[in-house]
C-alpha cells in the first residue's frame, strides 16, 4: 500500500545553479551536496536534484506536468513579488474561479514547471462538484 510521496527527484543540467534556486529562491533546507546530487527538505518533502548535463530538455515546455507547493493565501502576493524580484520565469496561469484558489506557475533553471498554490484537495473537489456535472466522484 502506498502511504505518501517519498521524494521528488529532478534531473538538472547545472547542480550549483539549481542548488541556488531551490535553496535561495524556494527557501529549501539544504541537507546534503554530493558530486552530482543535492537533497533538500522543502515543507517536509524530500526533494532530490540529480545533475545530468547531456540530456535534451526542450520537451518539458510542452507538458502540463508540474509539482505544486502549498502556500498560505495571505502569502500569495509576497511570493509573487519574491519570484519577480529574483528574475524567476513566471508562466501565465490558466483562468481560475475564486473557489479554485490561487496559483503561481513558474520554472526552475532547467524548465521544470513548479506551482505555488493556495488551495487544498478538498477545495478542488468541492469546486469541481459545484461546477463540473460531467465528472464522476467516488468520495
What positions carry a catalytic annotation? 115
Handedness of CA 37, 42, 47, 50 (dihedral sign): negative
Which residue has 513579488 as its cell numbers?
81
Distance (Å, whole) CA 15 – CA 124: 35
Amino acid at each position: 500500500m502506498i502511504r505518501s510521496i517519498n521524494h521528488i527527484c529532478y534531473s538538472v543540467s547545472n547542480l550549483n545553479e539549481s542548488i541556488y534556486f531551490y535553496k535561495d529562491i524556494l527557501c529549501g533546507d539544504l541537507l546534503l551536496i554530493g558530486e552530482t546530487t543535492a537533497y533538500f527538505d522543502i515543507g517536509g518533502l524530500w526533494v532530490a536534484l540529480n545533475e545530468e548535463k547531456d540530456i535534451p530538455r526542450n520537451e518539458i515546455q510542452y507538458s502540463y506536468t508540474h509539482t505544486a507547493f502549498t502556500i498560505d493565501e495571505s502569502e500569495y502576493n509576497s511570493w509573487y513579488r519574491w519570484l519577480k524580484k529574483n528574475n524567476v520565469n513566471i508562466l501565465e496561469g490558466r483562468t481560475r474561479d475564486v473557489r479554485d484558489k490561487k496559483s503561481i506557475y513558474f520554472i526552475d533553471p532547467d524548465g521544470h514547471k513548479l506551482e505555488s498554490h493556495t488551495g487544498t484537495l478538498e477545495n478542488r473537489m468541492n469546486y469541481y462538484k459545484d461546477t463540473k456535472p460531467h465528472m464522476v466522484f467516488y468520495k
